[in-house]
Amino acid sequence: MDTSIIIAIANQKGGVAKTTTTASVAAALKRRGFRVLTIDLDPQGNLSDSLGAEMFKLPTTYELLKRVSLAPDVTQHLDACDIIPSNIMLAGIEQELLSETGKEYRLKETLRPISDRYDYILIDTPPSLGVLTINALTCADKVIIPTTAGIFAANGIQQLNNTILNIKKYCNQGLQPAGILLTKFNPRTMVGQEMKELTRHLGQHINTKVFHTFIRVSVAVEEAQANKLDLFSYRQDSTVAQDYNAFVQEYLEG
């Protein structure tokens, strides 16, 4: 690829496995031979922590968005993928950029020098639709929307869709939803099946497909994060690793 494909992992709702999806998709892509960069845009820094990145002694996304450091200087090279990490300092960026012209384009501008070094750039976004998520959507080509099978997560998708439409109108005409990914899903329960059907209807309503692959609930996710490993390095035979591997294959096949 001449330039990278940039994918934002986003949902207004928290707790829908955005971070797990970012890390697992990145690791699965790298195992297929792709050059992969992840960007942690969540001030909680869960992606950075779960992959074992250095979060405090080296520059992060905060320095990147403040234009104190360049993208190559804030990139760390880990086994699972390359990463631009974050920490709690990023929480203040919205207020600091409040009066800045073109603040929506900060991430897009800072990534331009390294866009030809990667095949895929995956952005983990915070559970809000503030300036950080808007920066992610402004520079992204695609949006993967993880969601649990619940009514509140469905509401988050609707809000995100409204934001995507505004971003397409004002900042990034090429932005396209890649689809909705069901996570933490238990296919054996009646309520799970009902919520799956609700999500399918929601996808139709916002003109976005729901991926056939779903991600099952597994304790391996928390165990891998506690050991600061991606799922495939920790337990590639786990059901959740198999699910993410199948999802990446579905995504690549279009």
Is 17:184 a contact under the CB 8 Å cutoff? Answer: yes
Residue 107 contacts residue 65 (beta carbons within 8 Å) = yes
pLDDT given for residue 149 in this prediction: 77
SS3 66: coil
Report the pLDDT value the prediction gives residue 225, as an integer from 0 to 100. 96
Whether 4 shows a pLDDT value over 70: the answer reads: yes
* Average pLDDT along the chain: 94
Residue type, 21: T
Q: What is the pLDDT of residue 190?
A: 78
| Chain centre to alpha carbon of residue 79 | 18
Cα angle 176-92-11, degrees, rounded to a multiple of 5: 30
Contact yes or no for 88/45 (Cβ under 8 A) = yes
Residue 213, number of CB atoms within 10 A of its CB: 18
Q: How far does CA 41 lie from the centroid of its chain?
A: 9
Q: How far is CA 143 from CA 93, 180, 247, in A?
A: 23, 9, 15
The pLDDT confidence band at residue 175, using thresholds 50, 70 and 90, is: very high
Query: From CA 172, how far away is CA 174, in angstroms rounded?
Result: 5
Residue ranges covered by each domain of the chain:
5-253
pTM for the whole thing? 0.95
In 32-105, alpha helices (H): 46-50, 61-65, 71-74, 93-96
CA–CA dist 161, 177 (Å, integer): 9
Q: In this model, does residue 222 exceed pLDDT 80?
A: yes
pLDDT at 8: 98
Angle at 174 between CA 246 and CA 102, to 5 degrees: 120
Looking at CATH, the fold of the domain delimited by 5-253 is given as: Rossmann fold (3.40.50)
Contact indicator for 220, 234 with CB cutoff of 8 Å: yes
Query: Residue 200's pLDDT is what?
Result: 86
Task: Using alpha carbons, select from 9, 47, 7 the residue that is nearest to residue 181.
Answer: 9
**Which pLDDT score is estimated for 11?**
93
Question: Given this model, what pLDDT does residue 142 score?
Answer: 98
| Helix, strand, or coil (residue 40) | strand
Tokens of 146: 């993880």
CA–CA distance, 158 with 182 (Å, rounded to integer): 15
> For residue 240, which of 183, 164, 191 has the smallest C-alpha distance?
183
The answer to whether residue 1 scores a pLDDT higher than 70 is: no
Tokens of 147: 């969601």
Q: What CA–CA distance (Å, rounded) separates 84 from 67? A: 14
